[in-house]
Homo-oligomer: A and B are copies of this chain.
Amino acid sequence: MQTPWEYRYAHRTSRMGSSVIRELLKLTEQPDIISFGGGLPAPEVFPVEKIKEACNTVLEQQGALALQYSTTEGYLPLREMIARHNARFSVEIAPENILITSGSQQALDFIGRLFINRGDHVVVESPTYLGALQAWNAYGAEYVSVPCDEHGMIVNKLEEALRVGPKFIYILPNFQNPSGATLSLERRKKLVELADKYGVPIVEDDPYGQLRYEGEHIPSVVQLDSRFRGPNGGTYSGNVIYLSTFSKLLAPGIRLAWVVAPQQVIRKLVMAKQAADLHTATFNQIVAYEVAKGGFLDEHVKVIRATYKERRDVMLETMAEVFPSEARWTHPKGGMFLWGILPVGMDAAEVLKVAIEKKVAFVPGFAFHANGGGENTMRLNFSYARPEVIQEGVTRLGLTLKEMLSKNGK
């Protein structure tokens, strides 16, 4: 007889679903659609030649090492390099504070595995990163949403949320996915203090920190927490778990990211990773180290910044020209996304349906809200499409919005 698989699945699978975005994006896979829906880096900035050289060097000089099983913690020279990099931002971190993961999504999964009992609360921004919700839903997380404005999480509202007794606070302070907002320095300091006051850890997700196109770099939350706690003898033992990634600095197709956390948390994460996939691909780690070790990424990030700044500017300029006056949008100082806000009552999911007919797509903002809301918002990606394509796509979108508004108005 046929196996009735659906009755075999564990309870946690009831909250595992394919992401709304993925389903929507399937509609946009026709080649003539201009999609601002994804979150892909521009393939034009991948340092293909540099990676090729590194592959050759690594395989010629240490092929046996690079192709063998390796430690769960990650390739030591790579972790040492990341620790040195953090030292530039005056965060004292030892290699023992670092775990290499197969992309930041894996770090989010492990954090869920480590901390979330079914029904535990997590404080998130509203809107927040969808991948984090997906990772933690499987562990039975509930969410307390804190509203945001153009300077990120409204920290005055955070204290209320902290009194719920959450397991941790999740925050994406730089050029947030999806909103593009950046948490101000004042608010970061207040965040560190409030988290300390209530004894609630912070998970800081920082994939885009180095992709700033204007204004001054703001210290990361882990850096402010480190400063708040004073000298620590070269290892980090504070209240923040910090995530970053090579996906946006080098390439996402090699799946390479890292976690910075107190040593005791890293030790637990290592156990999680051991059971989950043994270790991140040895070859990819050594190749990334080979590419980055001479300071190459510093130079390369300048190329990425110039490319994405141009694309962001083209998107903003075109929006100013063609979007209806009723729409507003954010002006992100970096990253890969901006956030459109339509008049209240206008449903971005309905807009998407009409937009797809006009061969342009985006992600409706409701998908990024853990507890509902945001029906009149939309996320637009500006890193992937070339400038002339952005111009054309935004023009189509502007027309769509104007037509729908004038119809609704009648």
A149–B90 Cα distance when bound, in Å, is: 60
Given A102-B281, A113-B10, A52 contacting B51 (CB threshold 8 A)? no
Contact residues of A between 314 and 333, Cβ < 8 Å to B: none
A63 / chain B contacts, CB cutoff of 8 Å:
46, 48, 51-52
How many copies of this chain does the complex contain?
A: 2
Q: How far is the CB of A368 from chain B (nearest CB, A)?
A: 16
Given A51-B59, A114-B9, A115-B10, A253 contacting B43 (CB threshold 8 A)? no
**A237 & B2 in contact (Cβ 8 Å cutoff):** yes
Contact with B along A129-170 (1 / 0, CB 8 A): 001001101110000000000000000000000000001100
Which B-chain residue is minimally distant from A16 (CB atoms)? Answer: B271
A19 / chain B contacts, CB cutoff of 8 Å:
274
Contact with B along A258-275 (1 / 0, CB 8 A): 000010110010111011
**B40 & A67 in contact (Cβ 8 Å cutoff):** no
Instruction: Name the segment of A78-86, A103-111, A297-305 touching the other chain.
Output: A103-111
Is A283 interfacial (CB 8 A cutoff)?
A: yes
Which B-chain residue is minimally distant from A196 (CB atoms)? Answer: B1
A40 / chain B contacts, CB cutoff of 8 Å:
68-69
Is A5 interfacial (CB 8 A cutoff)?
A: yes
A134–B51 Cα distance when bound, in Å, is: 35
Is A30 interfacial (CB 8 A cutoff)?
A: no
Contact among B60, B114, B271 for A52, CB-based, below 8 A: B60
A279 / chain B contacts, CB cutoff of 8 Å:
255
Is A360 interfacial (CB 8 A cutoff)?
A: no
Given A48-B67, A64-B43, A253 contacting B281 (CB threshold 8 A)? yes
Lowest 5 CB-CB distances: which A-B pairs, in order?
Answer: A253-B282, A67-B251, A48-B63, A43-B64, A55-B55
A-B contact pairs, 6 of them (CB 8 A): A13-B272, A16-B268, A68-B252, A102-B102, A137-B275, A138-B275
